[in-house]
Chains A and B, each alone.
Chain A
Amino acid sequence: MNKIKQYFKTHSYNIATYGIVIIAYVVMQYLSNADMLSRSVNGYLVPICAYIVLAVSLNLVVGISGELSLGHAGFMGVGAFAGIVTAACLQGVVDSDFGRLMAALLVGGVVAGIAGVIVGVPVLRLRGDYLAIVTLAFGEILKNIIGNLYIGKDETGIRVALSQAELHLGAGGKVILSGALGATGVQKLSTFFAGFLLILFTLFVVLNLINSKEGRAIKAVRDNRIAAESVGINVTAFRMKAFVVSAFLAGMAGALYGLNYSAVSASKFGFNTSIDILVFVVLGGMGNILGSVISATVLYVLPEAMRGLADYRMILYAVVLILVMLFTWSPKVKEIMSVVTAKLGGIFKKKEVGTNE
Chain B
Amino acid sequence: MNEYSRKMLKVPTYNLLREQDMGKLPVLDVRNLGIDFGGLTAVDSFNITIGPTEISGLIGPNGAGKTTIFNLLTGVYQPTRGSVLINGIDTKGMPTHKVNKLGIARTFQNIRLFSEMTALDNVKVGMHNEIKCSFVSSLLHLPSYHKAEKAANEKAMELLDFMGLADVANVKAGSLPYGVQRRLEIVRALATNPSIILLDEPAAGMNPSETMELMHQIRRIRDTFHIAIFLIEHDMNLVMNVCEAIAVVNYGRIIAKGTPEEIRQNPAVIEAYLGKEDGE
Contacts and interface: CB of A to CB of B under 8 A. Distances in A.
B157 interface: no
Given A208-B141, A226-B76, A219 B101 contact: no
Interface stretch (A112-120, A210-218, A289-297, A298-306): A210-218
B192 A212 contact: no
Given A213-B138, A223-B114, A223-B115, A229 B97 contact: yes
Contacts of B95: 229, 234
Contacts of A213: 124, 128, 131, 133, 138, 148-149, 152
Nearest to B114: A223
A238 B131 CA distance: 16
A209 interface: yes
Given A213-B128, A226-B112, A231 B117 contact: no
- Most chain-B CB neighbours within 10 Å: which of A205, A217, A230? A230
A222 B106 CA distance: 19
- Most chain-A CB neighbours within 10 Å: which of B95, B124, B125, B140? B125
A228 B192 CA distance: 11
B96 interface: yes
A279 interface: no
B125 A220 contact: yes
Contacts of B112: 224, 226-227, 230
Contacts of B108: 226-227, 230
Contacts of B133: 212-213
Contacts of B128: 213, 216-217, 231-233
A314 B192 CA distance: 53
A222 B113 CA distance: 11
Interface string B217-259: 0000000000000000000000000000000000000000000
A124 interface: no
Contacts of A313: none
A208 B138 contact: yes
A231 B121 contact: no
B7 to A, nearest CB: 36
Given A231-B126, A233-B125, A219 B97 contact: no
A224 B149 CA distance: 23
A230 B141 contact: no
Contact of B138 (A214, A222, A230): A214
Interface in B124-154: 124-126, 128-129, 131, 133, 135, 138-141, 145, 148-149, 152
Interface in A222-271: 222-224, 226-235, 241
Nearest to B126: A231
B116 A212 contact: no
Contacts of B141: 208, 211-212
B91 interface: no
- Most chain-A CB neighbours within 10 Å: which of B105, B106, B135, B152? B135
B97 A233 contact: yes
A241 B135 contact: yes
How big is chain A's contact interface, by range?
A: 20 to 34
B114 A234 contact: no
Contacts of A220: 114, 117, 125
Contacts of A209: 138-139
B269 interface: no
B74 interface: yes
Nearest to A215: B138
A231 B131 contact: no
Given A213-B133, A228-B125, A205 B139 contact: yes
Given A212-B138, A216-B128, A241-B135, 18 more contacts: A208-B141, A212-B139, A213-B128, A213-B131, A213-B138, A219-B114, A224-B113, A224-B115, A227-B112, A230-B76, A230-B105, A230-B106, A231-B128, A231-B191, A231-B192, A232-B101, A232-B128, A232-B129
Interface of B: 74, 76, 95-98, 100-101, 105-106, 108, 112-117, 121, 124-126, 128-129, 131, 133, 135, 138-141, 145, 148-149, 152, 188-189, 191-192
28 contacts: A208-B139, A208-B140, A212-B141, A213-B149, A216-B121, A216-B125, A219-B116, A219-B117, A220-B114, A222-B116, A223-B117, A224-B112, A224-B114, A227-B112, A228-B114, A229-B76, A230-B74, A230-B189, A231-B100, A231-B188, A231-B189, A232-B98, A232-B101, A232-B129, A232-B192, A233-B128, A234-B95, A235-B97
Interface of A: 205, 208-209, 211-217, 219-220, 222-224, 226-235, 241
Report, nearest first, the 3 A-B pairs whose CB atoms are least far apart: A212-B138, A227-B112, A223-B114
